[in-house]
Amino acid sequence: MHLILGQTLTFTGDPFHADPDDVVTHHSQGAVAIDGGRITDVGPAEQLRTAYPHAQVTDYGGALISPGFIDTHVHYPQTAIIASWGKRLIDWLNAYTFPEETRFHDASHAQDIADTYFDLVTANGTTTTVSYCTIHPESVNAYFGAAQSRGLRVLGGKTCMDRNAPDGLRDTAQSAYDDSKALLEKWHGQDRLSYVITPRFAPTSTPEQLAALGALWGEHPDCLMQTHISEQSEEIAWVADLFPQARDYLDVYESFGLVGPGALMGHAIHLTERERARMLERDVSLIHCPTSNTFIGSGLFDMGGLMAEGHRIGLATDTGGGSSFSMLRTMAAAYEVAHLKGTTLHPAQLWWLATAGSARAIQMEDRIGTLAPGMEADLAIIDLASTPGIAQRSARANSLWEEVFPTIMMGDDRAVVATWANGKPL
């Protein structure tokens, strides 16, 4: 038994659809009890000290004990090319992404990047990631192996592409199905690992490949499926040229069995009314990648409108089109993007998006994303006065959220005192 002391913050409901004060539980002098990788109790520190007098104690003082951050859309193979200059989506892929991803046939390179990636994200308080790998099985094995050695709960899959990609980065409809199935059988459900069926996006898959992956998902509905949709206007026009029979971008995926509960649609910026209504009806999760959307000039996600409609929405860095490994920076960008769309997000809504909301988006709210008995013990310990600029602002706070908001807007890895995964500090 381990007792962790500090401020505790967790959610009992959705602050987008309720007053934040009604769905947030905060103890200024709180504690989390952990046993065997799971949370067994949360409450006032004095109460838990009395209840567990023989527990090992780690005291973080006034630091905030939060659920670990959940990053619902990343490309870990793009770690080394993050913050590359001057391209929009299609040029980005051709100039930076595809040349780098070609290197992942080399298992040692894949392992080096996977280790670097997980060192970076866990230093930023992220305990769960959902990643696109490359077409190479070696990239998937490196990703899951690195996560498994750290005790992380992660999701990911082989990215499938059989056209409009360079030599060395194309598979086939059959090999995409066969490789994905073999990797799924190897990794899905092992320890804290989950396989995600992963067509990159409609322009890089033939109809035959999309059909094969739709069939695979139909055979394994307990897996999630991830892809991209409506990120940039040029992309949407390209899809219309490639699939002239489709009503819209979403219709391409739906015609191949790739729309339904457990589908994670990255970006979802330029959606038609039909697409919005259909994704809501089919319980698709939309994944917001704000630093990527601004960095490569994609557009502004309609957080206010989509939340009002009732969509599942997750938050993501989109490494490396996204320009930061930090979910704090990603929360800040989500605030800025929403402001530009006419919606002012409450700090509770931002924190919920990075924890409980993202857990809901990937259908894991029963395991991660909140501090509650029975949940897996993934924690981010956050210093709310990590820099002089943040400290002087938070010192003037008159409420919890006034204290937290400066860290959302100005925080980085210096704010992360510790990251715990599966009940152990990393």
- Per-residue pLDDT reduced to its tens digit, 297-321: 999 999 999 999 999 999 999 999 9
Mean pLDDT over residues 345-374, rounded? 98
pLDDT at 198 over 90: yes
Rg of the chain in Å (alpha carbons): 21
Read off φ and ψ for residue 174, nearest 5 degrees.
Answer: -70, -45
- Is 92's pLDDT higher than 90? no
Buried b (16+ CB within 10 A) or exposed e, 383-411: bbbbbeebeebbeeeeebbebbbbbbbbb
Q: How confident is the model at residue 388, as a pLDDT? A: 98
- Average pLDDT in the chain: 97
pLDDT(154) > 90: yes
Q: Tell me: pLDDT of 416 over 90.
A: yes
Rounded to whole angstroms, how far apart are CA atoms 24 and 349? 10
Q: Which residue has the tokens 């860095």?
A: 317
Asked whether the beta carbons of 330 and 323 are under 8 A apart, the reply is no
Q: What is the pLDDT of residue 232?
A: 95
* Tokens describing residue 25: 């539980």
Domain architecture of the chain: domains with CATH? 2-67+370-425 (2.30.40.10), 69-361 (3.20.20.140)
- Alpha-carbon span 80 to 59, nearest angstrom: 36
- In this prediction, residue 90 carries a pLDDT of 85
Q: For residue 255, how many other CB atoms are within 10 A of its CB?
A: 17
Q: List CB contacts of 254: < 8 A, sequence separation 6 or more.
A: 278, 282
Name every residue whose Cβ is closer than 8 Å to that of residue 117 and which is 6 or more positions away in sequence. 76, 79, 146, 319
Q: Which whole number is the average pLDDT over 331-338?
A: 98
Residue 86 is predicted with a pLDDT of: 82
pLDDT tens readout for residues 250-275: 999 999 999 999 999 999 999 999 99
Q: Is 423 left (phi over 0), alpha (psi -120 to 50) or beta?
A: left
Mean pLDDT computed over 16-34: 97
Fill in the DSSP letter of residue 94.
I
Is the model's pLDDT at 87 over the cut of 90?
no
pLDDT level of residue 88 (50, 70, 90 thresholds): confident
| This prediction's pTM | 0.98
Residue pLDDT, tens place only, 224-256: 999 999 999 999 999 999 999 999 999 999 999
Mean pLDDT across 161-183: 97
Residues 358-367 have pLDDT tens digits of: 999 999 999 9
pLDDT band at 203 (very low <50, low <70, confident <90, very high): very high
Q: What does DSSP assign to residue 259?
A: -
With 90 as the cut, is the pLDDT of residue 89 above it? Answer: no
